[in-house]
């Protein structure tokens, strides 16, 4: 019989960390269930090939949103990793912890024990950061964890021009946005080690699988098996046969903010009316399952380059072949970085206490998925708001586990969304207009200088805003008395014994920046709760907040 002490569904960012920590002391057997396969090969392991795996059916679940009513009915791609490492194996490898205030907000909303003071020690435990190589803020960083965090060489003049332009525009600079001071322009960090993608699979899962007490089983998870109010296993399908993997102690769902609520609802945990309408027996009526869906939207503000210093010189078939060969033989060259080497976090207006806009700078004019590149040298800033008030939902289409869920983000459904997005465009144009870009900045490729009025910008936003691929929040953590909470502060599913959720589903509110880092942190912290350990001692570190935030935007 297939069984283990702990059964983890999903070998993604949090699931890999769970497998590593739960098997670490050798006392318990751990079995991970993952539908996806191997991460071997250059499409995943070469950082410069990042646009490929998220568009490959082999590695991506292929989810799409329903037609979004405020984005002209467009269906937006929602890539989720179907491979060991999960979305950490197909993402952009950008490493952002989130702002301290994000986690303080979690605690204030009912996630007791998840304030910044509580989670910072887990970020430090998971990191391998070399201050001698990268500088930064060593007092805030970890140096011995499994997850290597590094910085690119930043030798492209456009990359440094972006930071200098921000300074010229009056913004702060920061040497380490994952340290005390997130606000400002500075170097971007990534999960790359010696020229290779350092996914959660490379950092956590592969070392864990070398232990006798940790196994990975390739199968499709259909639902959690619940007996007398307790999760006792997971029903799986493999090569057309249905079986059950039993859990002697607990089942942990770490299947993504799309698949985790789907599995909960298929198991009878969710809004009772919705489950009843599909003929699913209700095991626990939790109205919050699938609700509170959040994401980051972004735009690409693109400029033509007056100098041939962009990545466009590698965009031909021959150029890509040269980049690939250089990486294969020496793990060096343009393929050894994700090319996101400068970043910024700024505030959109006075009266906002910490950044609500993020920038990724890229020395190429192209979409994130690698499609529709400009036919000339160009560069761009990915820019978007961090804390949209819009909320969506995940619901089931069918009680058949093989049917994908219905995904409605409800993007741009709040007037504030439009106001902040227009501000993003105006502020970006101002940055590209600084003297640091005078030698490089040609005409504006996108939106185009003719797009100036609110109505014109709103039209551009509706046509061109894209997901940053940061869905979260669909099984949120909260107080037991909160009817919309799905898990308690120790990640236990409310109303069912022996079942936890540990992935980005539990976020009460989306964090600043990319979600890989906080998702791994959730796996790290949840492991201590599952093992009954005392949490790591809280930190006394205080974040930098702009001293004049009440009256100044920068």
Instruction: From the candidates 470, 529, 546, 548, give the one annotated as an active-site residue.
Output: 470
Distance CA 353, CA 545 (A): 7
| Phi then psi dihedrals of residue 74, to 5 deg | -70, 145
Distance CA 500, CA 196 (A): 32
Distance CA 126, CA 512 (A): 19
**DSSP secondary-structure letter at 349?**
S
Dihedral in degrees, nearest 10, Cα atoms 198, 201, 203, 204: 160
CA-based radius of gyration for the chain = 23
3-class SS of residue 160 = helix
Q: At what angle do helices 454-464 and 415-432 cross, to 10 degrees?
A: 100
What's the full length of the chain, in residues? 554
Q: SS3 sequence, 99-121?
A: CHHHHHHHHHCCCCCCCHHHHHH
Distance CA 50, CA 60 (A): 13
Please give the C-alpha separations between residue 462 and each of 75, 168, 201, 317, 390, in angstroms, as whole numbers: 12, 31, 36, 33, 15
For 492, counting Cβ atoms within 10 Å of its Cβ (0-12 exposed, 13-18 middle, 19+ buried), the class is buried
> Which residues make Cβ contacts (< 8 Å) with residue 368, sequence separation at least 6?
51, 92, 300, 382, 466, 468, 469
CB atoms within 10 A of CB 299: 22
Judge contact between 236 and 33, C-beta under 8 A: yes
> Which residues make Cβ contacts (< 8 Å) with residue 160, sequence separation at least 6?
154, 342
The tokens for 118 are 């509580």
Distance CA 375, CA 267 (A): 50
Judge contact between 55 and 78, C-beta under 8 A: no
Q: At what angle do helices 516-531 and 13-22 cross, to 10 degrees?
A: 30
Distance CA 554, CA 452 (A): 23
Pick from 186, 192, 183, 130: which is nearest to 154 by CA? 186
Q: Would you call 470 a catalytic residue per the annotation? A: yes
**Catalytic residue annotation:** 470
């Amino acid at each position: 019989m297939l069984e283990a002490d702990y059964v983890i569904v999903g070998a993604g960012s949090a699931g890999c960390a769970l497998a590593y920590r739960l098997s670490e002391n050798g006392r318990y057997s751990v079995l991970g269930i993952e539908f996806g396969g191997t991460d071997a090969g250059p499409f995943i392991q070469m950082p410069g090939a990042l646009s490929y795996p998220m568009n490959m059916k082999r590695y991506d679940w292929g989810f799409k949103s329903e037609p979004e009513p405020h984005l002209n009915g467009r269906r937006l791609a929602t890539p989720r990793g179907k491979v060991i490492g999960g979305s950490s194996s197909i993402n952009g490898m950008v490493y952002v912890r989130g702002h301290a205030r994000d986690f303080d907000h979690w605690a204030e909303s009912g996630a007791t024990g998840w304030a910044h003071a509580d989670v910072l020690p887990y970020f430090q435990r998971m990191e391998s950061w070399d201050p001698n190589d990268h500088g930064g803020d060593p007092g805030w960083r970890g140096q011995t964890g499994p997850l290597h965090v590094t910085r690119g060489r930043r030798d492209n003049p456009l990359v440094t021009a972006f930071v200098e332009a921000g300074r010229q525009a009056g913004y702060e600079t920061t040497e380490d946005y994952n340290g005390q001071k997130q606000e400002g322009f500075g170097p971007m960090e990534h999960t790359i080690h010696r020229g290779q993608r350092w996914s959660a699979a490379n950092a956590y899962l592969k070392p864990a699988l070398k232990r006798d007490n940790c196994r990975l089983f390739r199968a499709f998870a259909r639902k959690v098996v619940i007996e007398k109010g307790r999760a006792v296993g997971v029903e799986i399908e493999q090569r057309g046969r249905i079986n059950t993997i039993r859990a002697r102690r607990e089942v942990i769902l770490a299947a993504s903010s799309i698949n985790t609520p789907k599995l909960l609802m298929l198991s009878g945990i969710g809004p009772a009316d919705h489950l009843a309408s599909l003929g699913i027996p209700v095991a626990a009526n939790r109205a919050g399952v699938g609700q509170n869906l959040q994401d980051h939207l972004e735009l690409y503000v693109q400029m033509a380059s007056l100098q041939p210093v962009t990545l466009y010189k590698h965009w031909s078939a021959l150029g890509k072949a040269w980049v690939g060969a250089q990486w294969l033989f020496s793990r060096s060259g343009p393929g050894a970085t994700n090319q996101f080497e400068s970043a910024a976090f700024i505030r959109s207006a006075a009266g906002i206490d910490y950044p609500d806009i993020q920038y990724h700078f890229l020395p190429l004019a192209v979409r994130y998925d690698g499609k529709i590149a400009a036919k000339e040298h160009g560069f761009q800033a990915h820019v978007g708001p961090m804390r949209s008030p819009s909320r969506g939902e995940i619901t089931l289409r069918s009680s058949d586990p093989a049917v994908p869920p219905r995904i409605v983000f409800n993007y741009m459904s709040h007037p504030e969304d439009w106001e902040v997005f227009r501000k993003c465009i105006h502020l970006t144009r101002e940055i590209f207009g600084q003297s640091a870009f005078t030698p490089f900045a040609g005409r504006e490729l996108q939106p185009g200088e003719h797009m100036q009025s609110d109505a014109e910008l709103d039209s551009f936003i509706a046509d061109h805003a894209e997901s940053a691929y940061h869905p979260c929040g669909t099984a949120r953590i909260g107080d037991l008395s909160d009817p919309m909470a799905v898990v308690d502060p120790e990640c236990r599913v409310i109303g069912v014994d022996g079942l936890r959720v540990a992935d980005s589903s539990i976020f009460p509110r989306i964090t600043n920046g990319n979600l890989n880092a906080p998702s791994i942190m959730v796996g790290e912290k949840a492991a201590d709760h599952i093992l009954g350990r005392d949490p790591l001692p809280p930190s006394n570190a205080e974040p930098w907040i702009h001293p004049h935030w009440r009256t100044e935007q920068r």
